[in-house]
Structure 1
Amino acid sequence: MVILVLTTLSAIGPLATDMYIPAFPEVAGELSTTASRMQLTITAFFLGTASGQIVAGPLSDRMGRRGPLLFGIVLCLLASIGCALAPTVDFLLVLRVLQGIGGGFGMVLGRAVLIDMTDGPELFRIMNIMQGVGGVAPIVAPLLGGIILIFGQWREIFFVIAAMSLISLLGVLFLIPESLPASRRHSGGFRTFLRNCRTLLQRRTFVAYMLVNAFSAFALMAYVSASSFVVQEMLGFTSTEYSVSFAINSMGMMTMSLVSARLTRSIHPRKLIRVGLIVVSLASFSLLIGSVFLDTPAWVVLPAFFFTVAPQGMIFGNGGALASDQAREIAGTGSAMLGLGFSFSASIAAPLVGIAGTHSSLPMAIAMVVGCLISSTFFVIAGRGSSTVNPHTGMA
């Protein structure tokens, strides 16, 4: 049950990011606003999430995990209800910032609690599950939002997020104890946070694994942002057929996360990341070749999409766990930096693909290849620094 609560916490933020994207036209019409203002509600949520992660990590290193975690969940709960009742887009923008702050608290502190309570193979197993759910959540969120819209209206999407927050709140109240004893807490404010960040940035292995995840997220979000155009406009698939392919890819990622969680009991996480990166890189290059030389045929695009998305389940959880293992004594700050790196990289992928144009699959393919190459480069760098063993766990 503890794993279920922590997994739910890791999913609320990504789900709230874009679950209501399918309802944009409906929201814009009801609130008498423009499409550009609706796009700002996503930006507002990202700003809130980034702010929440920056504050939550170091605050929890100082005060403990439970208090800040409860505050973040309550804030997300109340802001979600507020979004559901928002009378204007201006109210919605403010409440989306607050919702993002609460979601950022949950994402960071869920990981920090896990790091406090587990180590070794158990840490890698549960981190794979959490990261798998957290990684697939923003992909399936629009699909879930679309399902809700079949039976209700856009406001009910936010009520669903509020219900998830309430479930998480009850789970933390009754199942999650304080995981950071007073003897392990660090005094200080923002200056201490900056000092802790500087400490982690000097640890090559931590930074390398953080960037492995960040640029894998870049490749993944390039797919998310442009795949609908490629599949529907270029290949001529219907929206239903696209949704089915999207769901298959998402389930592949979830499945690989669960498989990876089991395999970490007998296989070192680096080996799993290596396999994942090799498969993703080959798939991205095949998409690039298909875009340049073969006029983007479906028999290249659809398998390339699947083998770009599914193996991410072997990368995110293991990369996050290996990085977190290097930041155990300041887990809150380490978790915040992991979340910021992931969110920042993912958030810039879509506009970069858009700037390059949407007249072909080439911009998306290039972005995916670049993300894979940079992620693989940092994986090699992490291996060169892996001779440094963490004294807390005995693992590299």
Structure 2
Amino acid sequence: MRSHHQSAPPLALLIALSALGVLPFNMFVPSMPSIAREFETDFATINIAVGGYAVATAFTHLIAGALSDRFGRRLVLLAALAIFVIGSIGCYFAATIYIFLGFRLLQGSAVAGFAMSLAVIRDTAGERMLSQIGYVSSAYAIAPMVGPTVGGLLASWLGWRANFAAFAILGACAIALVLRYLPETNRRRSTSMMQQFRGYGQLLISARFWAYACCMAFTIGTLYVFISGAPAVAVQTTQISTTMVGIYLGLVPAGFMIGSFAAARYGARLTPLQLIVFGRLLTCAGLLIGGALAALQINHPLAFFGPCVCIGLGNGLTMPAANSRVLSVYAGLSGTALGLASSITTAGAGAIAFFAGLFIEVSNARAYVVAAMLTTSLLSLAAAALIVRLEQRGAVPLE
């Protein structure tokens, strides 16, 4: 076991890389009106900076894992961070909206910080893998909570371009830290990219892989429905200030952070399957309570936002456990499996939020949002039940 830990980098570095992987998603959001005014464009165009970034992160997930199985975690991470720094500098100096959006897409490579952190943990943590993934995942929740506040302050003091200067500096610091403290941890690299392409085929015909991927997609899909639908519910609920809306919206990420810490704390006592199922049951129970309160026409904001805390708690328990199993079950394809599962999760959750949004209006927001979230959470529970069944059958893992 000693050799398994000798090349392990500091956990604090992996947590920081995970936070950097998600921070660019929304830290600049308070500056979007200023960016639209400076480039004299409409909000729909500038919103590509958010939607396009999400697509770029899905693509990064898809290829970074496979590349790291072939060329190593460290090299892929350094390349991704270098692309992120270039994208950040390009956004800072952009003279037109199209140049800005083009370089903004390059910033999506930052998500490799999260993906490679999980892969490194898989390589080095041994029996502590689930606990360490829980701590890293908590950073994935904290960063989006504090990012808009920090970005808004930077923009108010120094202008919107200051956000992208900060990204460039953070990326450069990350490169320096990786060069200094993160050794190569992948000791079982594949011999060719063709082997990785065949790995995609193996994964795509694996029932167990699809069970995990669907569980993760529906789990995050529930969160995306909340994020997209909760503001409409807040509008429907009278006498609620903008400040309180922000506080209520922050309850779910706070729940995710607590759930991730719980997964890290009790990861050695409970199996990943137990955490996955318990997380799904907790989310379903909370949303059933939310549905009952809506049916009883109890209209206090906490009647909606309170039960939704269970979305964060449940996701915080489920996602670290699911990620750890995807990394473990497909030992010879750990990076490839994680990348493909993360890409499916991102794309699937985005599609769920999009289709749910087609039916949500201010007049029916609460009922439709609760119904959509309950539907996706029940589907994630069904996928979790399928995972348990397939694991109990003892299918041979892909090597």
> TM-score scaled by structure 2?
0.89
Cα deviation for residue 295 of structure 1 reads 6.2
Q: Does 1:212 align with 2:215?
A: yes
Which of 186, 191, 207 is equivalent to 2:190?
A: 186
- Structure 2 distance, partners of 1:332, 1:74, is 20
Q: Secondary structure at the match of 1:386?
A: helix
Q: Does 1:346 align with 2:349?
A: yes
Q: Does 1:335 align with 2:331?
A: no
Q: Does 1:34 align with 2:37?
A: no
Over the matched positions of the two proteins, sequence identity in percent amounts to: 23
**Is 103-112 or 271-280 further displaced after alignment?**
103-112
Say what the alpha-carbon RMSD is for the aligned residues.
Answer: 2.4
Cα deviation for residue 124 of structure 1 reads 0.5
**Residue identity in the other structure for 2:388:** G
Q: Which residue of 2 aligns with 1:165?
A: 171
Q: Does 1:230 align with 2:243?
A: no
Q: Which residue of 1 aligns with 2:139?
A: 133
Q: Which residue of 1 aligns with 2:6?
A: none
**Residue identity in the other structure for 1:362:** A
> Quick check: 1:48–1:96 contact (8 Å CA) kept in 2?
no
**Residue identity in the other structure for 1:320:** N
Cα deviation for residue 391 of structure 1 reads 7.4
Which of 361, 371, 374 is equivalent to 2:366?
A: 361
Cα deviation for residue 139 of structure 1 reads 5.3
Q: Which residue of 1 aligns with 2:5?
A: none
**Residue identity in the other structure for 1:155:** R
- Structure 1 distance, partners of 2:246, 2:351, is 24
> Quick check: 1:205–1:326 contact (8 Å CA) kept in 2?
no
Cα deviation for residue 287 of structure 1 reads 2.6
Q: Does 1:263 align with 2:266?
A: yes
Q: Which residue of 1 aligns with 2:64?
A: 56
> Quick check: 1:61–1:186 contact (8 Å CA) kept in 2?
yes
| Structure 1 residues 339 and 11: CA distance shift in structure 2, 3 A | farther
Q: Which residue of 1 aligns with 2:73?
A: 65
Q: Which residue of 2 aligns with 1:103?
A: 110
> Quick check: 2:216–2:345 contact (8 Å CA) kept in 1?
yes
| Structure 1 residues 203 and 351: CA distance shift in structure 2, 3 A | closer
Cα deviation for residue 372 of structure 1 reads 0.4
1:106-152 CA distance string (max 9 Å, x none)? 333222222112233x1111111222322454455434433444444
> Quick check: 1:286–1:304 contact (8 Å CA) kept in 2?
yes
**Residue identity in the other structure for 1:89:** I
Which of 159, 162, 179 is equivalent to 1:156?
A: 162
Q: Which residue of 1 aligns with 2:304?
A: 301
Which of 318, 321, 344 is equivalent to 2:321?
A: 318
Q: Secondary structure at the match of 1:265?
A: coil
Cα deviation for residue 77 of structure 1 reads 1.5
Q: Number of residue pairs matched?
A: 388
1:246-296 CA distance string (max 9 Å, x none)? 334322321221122011121222222222211211222233344455164
Give unmatched runs, 5+ long, in structure 1. none
Q: Secondary structure at the match of 2:330?
A: helix
> TM-score scaled by structure 1?
0.90
- Structure 2 distance, partners of 1:138, 1:11, is 8
**Residue identity in the other structure for 2:366:** S
| Structure 1 residues 237 and 147: CA distance shift in structure 2, 3 A | farther
> Quick check: 1:22–1:142 contact (8 Å CA) kept in 2?
yes
